Amino acid sequence: MSNIPKHIGVIMDGNGRWAKRRGLPRSAGHKAGADNLEKICDYCNSLGVKALTVYAFSTENWNRPKAEIDALMELLYNYLLTVEEKFRNRNMKLQISGDVTALSEKIQKAIVHAEEVTSSGDGMILNIALNYGGRAEIVNAARKSAEDVKSGKIRPEDIDEDYLGRYMYTSNLPEVDLIIRPSGEKRLSNFLLWQAAYAEFWYSDICWPDFGNDDMKQAILDYQNRDRRFGGV
Ligand code: IPE
Ligand code: IPE
Ligand code: MG
Give residue 80's pLDDT. Answer: 98
> In the chain, which residues have pLDDT < 70?
none
To the query of whether residue 15 is one of the catalytic residues in this protein, the response is no
To the query of whether residue 13 is one of the catalytic residues in this protein, the response is yes
Give residue 56's pLDDT. Answer: 98
CA distance 233 to 229: 6
Phi, psi of 132 (to 5 degrees): -105, 140
Q: Is 185 in the pocket of ligand 2 (CB under 6 A)?
A: yes
Q: Is 57 in the pocket of ligand 2 (CB under 6 A)?
A: yes
pTM > 0.95: yes or no: yes
CA distance 188 to 99: 19
Rounded to 5°, the CA angle 142-144-150 comes to 105
**Cβ density class 180-209: b for 16+ within 10 Å, e for less:** bbbbeeeebebbbebbeeebbebbbeebbb
Span from the CA of 58 to the centroid of ligand 2 (angstroms): 7
Q: Is 36 in the pocket of ligand 1 (CB under 6 A)?
A: no
Backbone torsion region of residue 59, taken as left when φ is above 0, otherwise alpha when ψ lies between -120 and 50, otherwise beta: alpha
Give residue 2's pLDDT. Answer: 85
Query: Which residues are near ligand 3, the ion (C-beta closer than 5 Å)?
Result: 13
At 59, the amino acid letter reads T
Helix (H) or strand (E) holding 94: strand 93-97
